[in-house]
Amino acid sequence: MSSSSASLTLFFFFASTFLNAHAFNITRILNLNNEFSTFNNLLSQTGLASTINSRQTITVLALSNDAVSVFSDQSTEDNKKILSLHVILDYYDIKKLKNLNKKSVILTTLFQSSGQAKGQQGFINATVMSNGDVMFGSAVPGSILDAKLIDSVATHPYNISVLHISSYIPIMNPEGPSDHGSSSSPLPPQPPGDDDYTYDEPPSPPSSTTKPVVAAATAKANSTSGVSAITTHNLAFAFVISSFWFFITVW
């Protein structure tokens, strides 16, 4: 093999590694904690795992094994719809949620992007309560907030955040909520434009000093990853193209 061919082979190897450095795998992340094994299997069965992995920026609201019993009596298609409501199309970790500019934010989910949602069904409401708790619920007006943020499962700024919540978020009737057995207090009406109510905030700016962190859902199993976060895929692509042109010119 000539020196130029060897150099090109080496270049493409490192270029491929660089382009995929930002990638994450939700199945592997959840495999680190058996508490989410059923939720993890449901993501694979419904095909949502591969959809999540194909995204550049995502937040997954994960459910522990004791909170997914409702999915055992439903079809795979119905499970996919509900689970897709637990996938937010933006990066939100605990710090970002706790420091919302406004106490409530409406978040766009994968269910909304599927085109099957009606009205506000594809959005969820995240609200910081007076006691500091972060609660989630359907954005359908009048819906309740009964899914509580428990802790962080994994973060890879600013690509993926996996948050542990206490209970699943149901798909509500777009014309108004129906009772699904919760004792939580109803969410006060908050029409768009209210001072305490806003839609998706822009993604947080990337930081070259931030490293991905993997944290167990319980305080006994915290762990940290040392792989530096990659900012944008476009930057990587530009780097590869310019480097490729350099190699072609030289050899």
- What is the average pLDDT across 224-245? 45
Q: In 142-181, which residue ranges form alpha helices assigned H by DSSP?
A: none
What is the rounded distance in angstroms from the CA atom of residue 227 to the CA atom of residue 210? Answer: 10
For 78, list phi and psi in degrees, rounded to 5.
-65, -40
Name the pLDDT band for 192 (thresholds 50, 70, 90): very low
Name the pLDDT band for 243 (thresholds 50, 70, 90): low
- What is the average pLDDT across 175-184? 50
Q: Is the pLDDT confidence value at 115 over 70?
A: yes
Q: Which residue has the higher pLDDT, 217 or 199?
A: 199
What is the predicted pLDDT for the residue at 242?
56
Parse the chain into domains and list their residue ranges. 23-229
Taking the complete model, does pTM exceed 0.75, yes or no? Answer: no
What is the predicted pLDDT for the residue at 171?
96
What is the rounded distance in angstroms from the CA atom of residue 2 to the CA atom of residue 153? Answer: 48
What is the predicted pLDDT for the residue at 211?
42
- What is the average pLDDT across 29-40? 97
- What is the average pLDDT across 27-43? 97
Q: How many helices (H) and strands (E) does the chain have?
A: 8, 10
Question: Which residues are CB-neighbours of 165 under 8 A, at least 6 positions away?
Answer: 61, 62, 63, 86, 136, 147, 148, 149, 150
SS3 205: coil
Name the pLDDT band for 102 (thresholds 50, 70, 90): confident
What is the predicted pLDDT for the residue at 75?
96
Q: Is the pLDDT confidence value at 205 over 80?
A: no
- What is the average pLDDT across 13-40? 78
Q: What is the pLDDT of residues 45-91, one digit of tens each?
A: 999 999 999 999 999 999 999 999 999 999 999 999 999 999 999 99
E-assigned strand segments in 57-180: 58-63, 87-88, 104-108, 123-128, 134-138, 147-156, 160-165
What is the predicted pLDDT for the residue at 244?
52
Which of 95-99, 173-177, 247-251 is predicted with the least confidence, judged by mean pLDDT? 247-251
Record: fold of 23-229 = FAS1 domain (2.30.180)
Name the pLDDT band for 19 (thresholds 50, 70, 90): very low
What tokens appear for 156 in the block?
Answer: 């890879």
Name the pLDDT band for 12 (thresholds 50, 70, 90): very low
